[in-house]
Structure 1
């Protein structure tokens, strides 16, 4: 399965629309593009393999594999990119500003309900990140 994240870049943050086969899943918020600098920039555009991951902090969430120059880039809940993200992607139900959104846990659940059954069957799930 291929998911596509269409991004729009702003100096204060990055907004995105996550889709499967042209159908909207949720919106996303990220840090601004700052040349892939660790902990302050969103990650480069490209195609990434997704894996399930669990942590005490986020519960079940998604890990992006083989991000150039980065480690532990996740898709996890957050409603304010600058306050809550260190390069990761946060799904949100609505964008409320540049790098801001709401109901992130609800959006993550919608995404994991779609992705986790496939990952549990060892079906590859990829994320293509591109400019809108």
Structure 2
């Protein structure tokens, strides 16, 4: 399986990076879609920045904090322990990637959040054990 995370410049700001996450099977058919939430680009600084755009291998992982509900990105330049994990708010991110069903301001703080994150991650876990992820900025 292959996945692409498309970072959407028009939805992003100094607080966060919003995107679309799409998984395709080997025939190129879309089998999964979600929205994504990351920290803004701040020079790849740990706990402050999203990771660089590029290609990464991803596999299921067990996290001390999130348990079995995560995927780990491998060989991220200058960074370690980058996960795709459940979370709804920018404050839940320490450099990782959150997935959800849609964008919403859940807590009415005027900052974009993602909905149904745990459900979204669980759906992805049923579809794939590992995949190649290409992160692009448009």
With the length of structure 1 as denominator, give the TM-score of the two structures.
Answer: 0.86
Structure with the larger RCO, 1 or 2 (CA within 8 Å, 6+ apart): 1
Q: How far apart, CA to CA, are the structure 2 residues paired with 1:33 and 1:73?
A: 15
Structure 1 residue 2 displacement after superposition:
1.2
Structure 1 residue 16 displacement after superposition:
1.0
| 1:14 corresponds to 2:17 | yes
Structure 2 unaligned runs (5+)? Answer: 106-110
2:85 to 76, 86, 90: 76
User: Aligned pair count?
Assistant: 124
Aligned structure 1 segments of 4 or more residues deviating by more than 4 angstroms: none
- Alignment root-mean-square deviation, CA: 1.6
DSSP-derived class of the 2:4 partner:
strand
Q: How far apart, CA to CA, are the structure 1 residues paired with 2:59 and 2:18?
A: 23
| 1:127 corresponds to 2:136 | no
Q: How far apart, CA to CA, are the structure 2 residues paired with 1:28 and 1:110?
A: 15
Structure 1 unaligned runs (5+)? Answer: 120-124
